[in-house]
C-alpha cells in the first residue's frame, strides 16, 4: 500500500505515488532553478507541466487512476533535463563570483552540498542516528550505540537526541535526501583534495618551476574550498538557528515568566530526584516501592536499574526545559544569576532533606547501604551466569 498525492499540473489533477511526487517535485524545482533569470520562466514551466500532464494522461485508463513512481521517473527521463537556451549569463553570474571549481563531468551539475538531515527511512525513532551516520559515512549501529551509551550517563544521550530531533530538519524531498546521503560533503572533499594535491606536489618536487606553479595553484584551490566549507557550515548553522527559533524563540516561555519557571522546574526536579532516591532505598530495604512488591522473577538489581531508568524518563522533560532556559535567546547575566541561585537553593534543600531522612531512618539507611555491595555482587554473578549459558 502506498500513499497517493494529488497534484495540479498546469490545471490538470493527477494522483501520484508519494515517491513519484517527490521525484517530480525535484525535477520541477531544478527546472525552476535552471531558468532563474529567464524572463519567460513561468511560461516555460507551464509548458513543461502541460507536457508532463499530457504524458500522464496517455498512461491513464478507465481502471488506472494513479501514476506509479516508475512511470513518473520514465516521464521525467523522457522530458530530459531543462536547459536554459537564452544567452543571458544567469548561470554565469553566480559562477564568476565563485572560485574555479574542478570541472564537473559532462552533463553533470555540481551536486548539492552535503547537509545534516534526519532520515526517516529505516529509522528507529526520529532518524537522527540515521542522518548522522549518512553524514559522517559510518555505520548507523555505531551511532546508535554511542547514543545509548550517552543515555546511560544521566540521560545525556536522550536529551541530545531530542534536541537534535527538534533542530535538524528531516529530509523530505528527494533533493534533500540526496543532500543527506549522496554527494560527498565539502569537508570530506576538502580533505581528499588536500591529500591529492599534496601527492601532486611531491611529484613536481624535483622541478623548481613546476613546483612553484603547483604551490600557487594548490593554495588558490584550497582557498576556494575553504570558502565553500565555511559557507556550508554557515548554511547549516543558519538552518539550525531557524529551527531553534521556530521551536523555542518567538514565544519566550509562555507558561510563566522564567523567573517563576526556573525555581519551579528546579524544585520539581529536586523532588523527582528525592522520590527516586527514596524508592531506591525502599526497594533495597523492603523489596517494595510505594507498597508495590517487586515480582519474584525480577532480581533486586534489575529492579534498581528499572527504577533509575523510569525516573530518568520522568526527569527528562524537566531537564530539557531547564536547558532550554539556559541556552534559549542568548546569554543574559540576570537570568544566569537567577538560575545559579535556584540551583544552589535546590541543592541545599536536597541535602537538608537527605540529612533529615538519614537521621530519622538511620537504621533502615544503614541496612540499605550495607545491602548495596551484596546486590552488586549478585548482579555481577547473574550476568556472569547468563554469559556462561550463551
Partner 1 sequence: MSSINEKFTPIRKGLLEFLVLKVVSADKVYVADILRELGGTEFATQEGTLYPLLSKMRREELVDYEWKESEAGPPRKYYQLTAKGREQLREISEYWQQISATVKSLGQKPGQ
- List contacts with partner 1 (CB under 8 A): 11-12, 31, 35, 38-40, 43-44, 47-48, 50-51, 54, 57, 78-86, 106
CB of 55 to partner 1, least distance (A): 9
Q: Are strands 66-67 and 12-17 parallel, antiparallel or unpaired?
A: parallel
CA distance 202 to 306: 60
**Nearest residue (CB) to partner 1, 43 versus 381:** 43
CB of 69 to partner 1, least distance (A): 20
Question: Is the Cβ–Cβ distance between 13 and 7 less than 8 Å?
Answer: yes
CA distance 67 to 63: 12
Which residues fall within 8 angstroms of residue 316, CB to CB, at 6 or more apart?
155, 158, 159, 162
**Nearest residue (CB) to partner 1, 85 versus 96:** 85
**Nearest residue (CB) to partner 1, 48 versus 129:** 48
Backbone angles phi, psi at 126, to 5 degrees: -105, 0
**Nearest residue (CB) to partner 1, 58 versus 292:** 58
SS3 285: helix
Return the half-sphere exposure (C-beta side, CA atoms, 13 A cut-off) of residue 37: 13
Beta strands in the chain (DSSP E): 4-9, 12-17, 66-67, 288-289, 292-293
**Nearest residue (CB) to partner 1, 30 versus 120:** 30
**Nearest residue (CB) to partner 1, 78 versus 381:** 78
CB of 27 to partner 1, least distance (A): 9
CB of 51 to partner 1, least distance (A): 5
Question: Is the Cβ–Cβ distance between 63 and 112 less than 8 Å?
Answer: no
Amino acid at each position: 500500500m502506498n500513499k497517493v498525492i494529488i497534484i495540479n499540473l498546469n490545471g490538470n489533477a493527477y494522483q501520484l505515488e508519494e515517491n513519484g511526487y517527490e521525484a517530480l517535485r525535484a525535477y520541477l524545482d531544478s527546472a525552476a532553478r535552471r531558468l532563474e533569470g529567464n524572463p519567460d520562466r513561468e511560461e516555460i514551466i507551464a509548458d513543461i507541466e502541460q507536457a508532463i500532464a499530457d504524458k500522464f494522461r496517455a498512461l491513464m485508463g478507465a481502471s488506472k487512476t494513479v501514476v506509479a513512481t516508475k512511470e513518473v521517473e520514465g516521464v521525467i527521463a523522457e522530458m530530459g533535463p531543462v536547459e536554459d537556451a537564452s544567452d543571458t549569463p544567469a548561470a554565469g553570474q553566480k559562477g564568476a563570483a565563485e572560485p574555479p571549481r574542478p570541472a564537473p563531468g559532462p552533463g553533470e551539475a555540481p551536486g548539492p552540498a552535503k547537509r545534516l538531515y534526519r532520515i526517516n527511512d529505516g529509522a528507529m525513532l526520529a532518524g537522527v542516528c540515521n542522518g548522522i551516520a549518512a553524514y559522517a559515512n559510518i555505520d548507523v549501529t555505531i551511532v546508535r550505540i554511542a547514543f545509548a551509551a550517552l543515555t546511560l550517563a544521566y540521560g545525556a544521550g536522550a536529551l541530545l537526541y531530542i534536541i537534535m530531533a527538534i533542530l535538524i530538519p528531516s529530509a523530505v524531498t528527494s533533493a534533500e535526501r540526496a543532500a543527506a546521503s549522496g554527494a560527498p560533503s565539502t569537508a570530506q572533499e576538502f580533505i581528499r583534495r588536500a591529500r591529492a594535491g599534496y601527492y601532486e606536489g611531491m611529484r613536481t618536487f624535483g622541478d623548481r618551476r613546476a613546483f612553484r606553479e603547483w604551490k600557487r595553484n594548490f593554495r588558490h584551490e584550497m582557498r576556494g574550498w575553504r570558502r565553500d566549507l565555511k559557507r556550508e557550515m554557515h548554511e547549516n548553522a543558519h538552518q539550525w538557528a531557524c529551527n531553534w527559533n521556530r521551536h523555542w524563540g518567538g514565544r519566550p516561555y509562555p507558561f510563566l515568566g522564567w523567573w517563576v519557571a526556573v525555581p519551579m522546574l528546579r524544585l520539581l526536579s529536586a523532588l523527582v530526584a528525592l522520590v527516586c532516591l527514596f524508592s531506591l532505598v525502599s526497594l533495597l530495604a523492603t523489596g517494595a516501592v510505594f507498597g508495590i512488591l517487586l515480582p519474584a522473577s525480577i532480581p533486586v538489581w534489575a529492579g534498581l536499574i528499572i527504577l533509575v531508568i523510569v525516573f530518568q524518563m520522568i526527569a527528562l522533560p524537566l531537564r530539557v526545559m531547564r536547558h532550554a532556559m539556559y541556552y534559549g535567546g542568548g546569554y543574559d547575566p540576570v537570568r544566569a544569576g537567577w538560575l545559579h541561585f535556584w540551583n544552589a537553593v535546590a541543592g541545599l534543600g536536597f541535602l537538608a532533606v537527605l540529612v533529615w531522612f538519614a537521621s530519622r531512618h538511620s537504621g533502615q539507611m544503614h541496612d540499605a547501604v550495607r545491602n548495596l555491595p551484596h546486590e552488586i555482587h549478585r548482579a555481577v554473578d547473574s550476568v556472569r551466569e547468563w554469559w556462561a549459558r550463551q
